[in-house]
Structure formats: structure tokens, C-alpha cells
Amino acid sequence: MNDLEIRFTPTPPRDLLLLADEYDASVDDYIRRAACYVARLDGAVVGEYMLLHTRPFTAEVISLAVDPAHQRRGIATALLAHAVRTARAAGFRRLEVGTGDSSAGALALYARCGFRRTGIDRDYFRRYYPVPIYENGRECRHMVRLAMEL
């Protein structure tokens, strides 16, 4: 992905944010508090992630998304590598991420990129989302938490 460019943007692309988190209220909550980084390929936006300062020395990658037409090309891996570099440069010592228990692809991606499971927030999506979410034919109920030390 030599021609992939990842940069901060003050105006996150909402369509991509909603790919990662389809609940508008959730997106509205963190869009004001996080820094957004957008990936462009030949000038077109193909992916994004947000970096949120959550606790002292800790940041979280939220709303990692790649346009469906550009998936499985290493863009998510490049975005995560960028998030690690950005968090380190900002002085964070821990980087976290959370994803649904039904997101097998995302869980595998995070593991390949060096994140390790740290816990499960049981019934997270049932508690905080107004309607059930289904992925890969199963209900997404639990938030799987992962982290890496920087």
C-alpha cells in the first residue's frame, strides 16, 4: 500500500463511521471527543479510524472501517499500524480496541496486529443499542476488549 495516505481530518466521513458503528447516537457521542484519521488511495477515501484518549496513558481505536469495495487489501492493517505509531508519538503507553463477539474477521485482524484479549463486556450491545445487531448470521451481544502495551 505504498500509495495509501493516512492523515488527520477534522471532518470524519460519517458513512464510514456508520459502517463501523451503525448506531447514530454512539457515533454522535464519540465524534466530538476523538481524533479521526482518514486513508486515501488515489485521492479517494477508502478507510478511517478514530483515536480516543480514554484514561491516563491510554487511548482506544474506535470506529475502524474500510470501504467494502477496498476491503481485504491491507488497508485496515495499515490503519492499525498508523494508530500504534500515532498513539506512541502522543505518549500513550497502552492502546485498546473493542469489537463485537460476532466479528470474527475483526478479532482475527486485531490478533494479527498484536492486540491481546483483556476481557468481555457482557451484553454490551443489548444494554446500549436500541435494536439487536446481527453479524454473520448471529446476534452481536458482547463487546470483546483487546489491548496492546506500547
Angstrom distance (rounded) from CA 39 to CA 67 = 10
Per domain, the residue ranges of the chain are 4-149
Beta strands at 94-100 and 138-140: parallel, antiparallel or unpaired: unpaired
Using CA atoms, how far residue 33 sits from 51, 74, 134, in Å, is 9, 27, 27
Q: Which fold has domain 4-149?
A: Aminopeptidase (3.40.630)
pLDDT tens track of the chain, all 150 residues? 568 999 999 988 888 888 788 778 888 888 889 999 999 999 999 999 999 999 999 999 999 999 999 999 999 999 999 999 999 999 999 999 999 999 999 999 999 999 999 999 999 989 988 888 888 789 999 999 999 999
Angstrom distance (rounded) from CA 34 to CA 43 = 23
Angstrom distance (rounded) from CA 49 to CA 37 = 6
Angstrom distance (rounded) from CA 26 to CA 129 = 9
